[in-house]
């Protein structure tokens, strides 16, 4: 019998309820990227809640909000578990391509899924850097509208494996907080294969909320994929990327709530008016 989470998940993504197979994951990941915004509005409003299945269903599915990696990928984890997949959560550390340094340790949550005795990274929460397909551990290059991705076994100070990314063959790319891939392979994040539980996920949220080097406590940021690129919104600017062409426009504070509603479907307007300088 289908769980309530599955029913609400299908409804939110506007996908007919059905039994999900591995081949359906591409559609699920694309629909998530197009539907669920990547956003930190609760952090800026001081209204964060513990990460739990019930709280995620309420926020992301019922209230039609978005969230950060630990929310988006945790929701996907619960959905995939309900669908019968072998999947677990792990922690990663993101590499900042703009400043060429590691971001706070274990600040990223991703999923590892086993199918037919092969492991894949599943990530629906890496801002606009979304593979939109399961990424296998065998080094195969996965292409999407945001670029190319691969997994390599490589020991770093931050883990045993890395996800790398670069621009696609036809220039496919994306930009988040000026962290944009080049035509060369660059580290997106490093990770270990150690499973993490809900307690660890909540600790990761605490780091993201409180760490002085976290980019997500500096100002409101919302982004989402579109059919031909992506859109992002800060308190200062609205940026739209269409087929590789980026158009960044300054906004006035009175326009923020309208753009948030029209472009991202979010009606929450209570946020702290700080400015994210790299937005």
CATH number at residue 65: 3.30.2140.20
| DSSP secondary structure code for residue 228 in this structure | T
Total residues found in the chain within this entry: 279
Splitting the chain (279 residues) into consecutive groups of 10 residues, what average pLDDT does each group show? 96 96 98 96 94 97 96 98 98 90 94 98 93 97 92 96 84 55 86 97 96 89 91 92 85 92 81 42
Dihedral sign (CA 209, 213, 217, 222): negative
3-state SS class at 21: coil
Number of domains in the chain: 1
The reply to whether 226 falls in a domain is yes
CA atoms within 13 Å, Cβ hemisphere of 246: 13
The reply to whether 122 falls in a domain is yes
pTM over 0.75: yes
pLDDT tens by residue, 115-145: 999 999 999 999 888 999 999 999 999 998 8
The reply to whether 277 falls in a domain is no
User: Token match 């990530």: residue?
Assistant: 123
Q: At what angle do helices 69-82 and 198-210 cross, to 10 degrees?
A: 160
The reply to whether 83 falls in a domain is yes
Strands 38-39 and 142-144: unpaired
CA-closest candidate to residue 62, choices 143, 16, 4: 4
259: containing domain? 4-264
């Amino acid at each position: 019998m289908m769980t309530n989470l599955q029913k609400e998940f299908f409804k939110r993504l506007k996908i007919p309820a059905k039994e999900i197979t591995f081949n359906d994951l591409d559609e699920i990941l694309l629909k998530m990227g197009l539907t669920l915004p990547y956003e930190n509005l609760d952090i800026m409003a001081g209204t964060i809640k513990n990460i739990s299945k019930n709280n995620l269903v309420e926020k992301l599915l019922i209230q039609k909000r978005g969230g950060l990696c630990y929310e988006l990928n945790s929701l996907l984890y619960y959905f995939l578990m309900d669908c019968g997949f072998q999947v677990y959560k792990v922690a990663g550390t993101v590499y900042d391509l703009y400043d060429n340094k590691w971001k706070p340790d274990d600040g990223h949550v991703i999923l590892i899924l086993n199918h037919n005795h092969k492991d894949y990274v599943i990530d629906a929460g890496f801002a606009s850097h979304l593979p939109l397909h399961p990424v296998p551990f065998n080094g195969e290059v996965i292409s999407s509208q945001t670029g190319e991705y691969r997994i390599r076994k490589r020991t770093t100070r931050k883990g045993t494996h890395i996800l790398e990314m670069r621009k696609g063959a036809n220039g496919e790319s994306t930009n988040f907080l000026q962290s944009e891939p080049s035509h060369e392979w660059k580290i997106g994040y490093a990770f270990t294969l150690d499973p993490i539980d809900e307690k660890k996920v909540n600790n990761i949220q605490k780091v993201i909320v409180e760490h002085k080097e976290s980019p997500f406590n500096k100002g409101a940021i919302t982004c989402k994929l579109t059919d031909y690129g992506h859109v992002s919104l800060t308190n200062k600017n609205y940026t739209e990327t269409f087929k590789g062409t980026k158009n960044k426009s300054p906004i006035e504070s009175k326009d923020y709530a309208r753009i948030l509603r029209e472009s991202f479907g979010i009606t929450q307007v209570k946020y702290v008016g700080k400015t994210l300088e790299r937005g």
